[in-house]
Amino acid sequence: MADIIFINGAFGAGKTQTTYELARRLRNVHIFDPEEAGYYIRRCLPDSMKYSNFQDHPEWRSINNQMLRSFVDYDGIILAPMTIIRTDYWHEITDNVPVKRHIVLNLSKDELRRRQHKRFEGKNSFAAQMANECIAAYERFPTEIPDALLLDCDKLSISETAERIADECGLSLSPRFNPISSMIYRIRVTTGHIR
């Protein structure tokens, strides 16, 4: 059975970079990106039927639930990075899914804004507009989703965040890249995820 590790957090918190850092330093790992189903739905629907947030499509939640269930026979680690702030959506996509850990990259508003600015997210970007809603949602998670682990990341680098997640999940990581190789790797990850 797969060990499914869900990496949640606000837009710009570092989910993708952390996920790829973990994947690079673990063995027998697969990255499952729930966003891909959203892009598929957007391509298939006429504009008049599209929601501004593809998570609001029941099909998105259903597809991801079915995909996560399909990993039951995978003998390895599944890393799933995705911003999810609605608890009903979380329960819907993880219904009957054995999630090993649900990690939330938790940031202060100032640090989140700094990270968004680093990736050229302006104050009118979707990520910036959603910041307050994400922070408020994660404050409710200890009550609404008690098994979610809020990992305070304000002072953690990507490598340190990955190492904390590995510790929480009982995983052994290979050594870090040297700083130059790390920078090149992160640039590749970033450019590979420009939508």
- Which of 174, 164, 177 has its CA nearest to residue 14? 164
Question: Rounded mean pLDDT of 166-185?
Answer: 81
* pLDDT level of residue 190 (50, 70, 90 thresholds): low
191 or 142, greater pLDDT: 142
H-state helical runs in 45-84: 58-70
* Mean pLDDT (whole number) for 70-85: 95
Q: What is the pLDDT of residue 139?
A: 96
pTM: 0.89
3-class SS of residue 8? strand
Rounded-to-integer distance, Cα 69 and Cα 133, Å:
29
For the chain, what is the mean pLDDT? 92
